[in-house]
Structure 1
Amino acid sequence: MIRKAFVMTVYPDKHEEYEKRHNEIWPEMVEELHRHGASNYSIFLDRESNKLFGYIEIENEKKWKQMAETEINQKWWEFMDSVMETYPDKSPVSTNLKEVFHMD
């Protein structure tokens, strides 16, 4: 497994909506994430900074990158565009973090 961590930004007045949408995540989105090798996926919110910290484990980078092109992922990005910072293609503005320590 490859461990990935990243930071995104949710709009200050959209914290509850962001969480609600993830609590009601579409089953077909979860299925597609699994098909693309994702597991152990968590997102945390720092309310003071509006920063979202994401952690996910993936099988391999190539398979994971293909997730972005799926129809369901494109629909999810469109759905989430109004609650978080996104690029023109609706993908979340995201910064990958470098792992500097890990303990099992």
Structure 2
Amino acid sequence: MTDSPTTDAPTAGATEQAALTELLNTTTARSPHRCCFLLHVRPDRLTEYVEVHQHVWEEMRQALTRCGWRNYSLFLRPEDGLVVGYFESDDVDAAQAAMGDEEVNTRWQTEMAQYFVQPDGGTNEILPQYFYLP
């Protein structure tokens, strides 16, 4: 009889992923005040997408401010349409929830949907913060 590894043992990759997840969830650099996220714009719609953002509806801008969004920025990697978004708030989760209740946000998101590639079923990817230098 030979010894063979059991299929129940975690793989090195799974162990590493679990350790990283734990570290990201418990780091002291994690903040309820900053949010960074990724979007993917269709390459054939980049110019139009950027142009639309040169003229964000005033009522949308007011809603973002009213809901507590500050220092909101979008950055684009033109080669592949990767958008990096960043904003600050006293409470990011509350600010996002408040925007979810805004009628103007529903209209804006409906308009913006035509520009996005949805590789993961349609959700935005929120990035965990692991370092901060005030």
Normalised TM-score (structure 2): 0.69
Output the CA distance in 2 between the equivalents of 1:30 and 1:93.
22
1:99 matches 2:129 = yes
RMSD in angstroms over aligned alpha carbons? 1.8
Of residues 61-70 and 24-33 in structure 1, the stretch that sits farther from structure 2 once superposed is 61-70
Which of structures 1 and 2 has the bigger CA Rg? 2
- Give the deviation of 1:69 after TM superposition: 2.2
CA deviation after TM superposition for structure 1 residue 27, in Å: 0.5
The 8 Å contact of residues 58 and 64 in structure 1, kept in 2 or not, is answered as no
Aligned length: 100
Q: Which runs of 5+ in 2 are unaligned?
A: 1-31
Using the TM superposition, give the Cα deviation of residue 98 of structure 1 relative to its aligned residue in structure 2, in angstroms: 0.6
Sequence identity percentage: 30
Counterpart residue number, 1:89 = none
Distance in 2, Cα, partners of 1:85 & 1:32: 25
What CA distance in whole angstroms lies between the structure 2 residues aligned with 1:8 and 1:39? 19
Instruction: Specify the alignment match of 1:79 in structure 2.
Output: 111
Indicate the structure with greater strand content: 1
Structure 2 matches for 1:1-104, cutoff 5 A?
Answer: 2-60=33-91, 61-85=93-117, 93-104=123-134
TM (norm. structure 1) is: 0.87
Q: Which residue is 2:23 aligned to?
A: none
More helix by share: 2
- Partners of 2:38 and 2:96 in 1: CA distance: 17
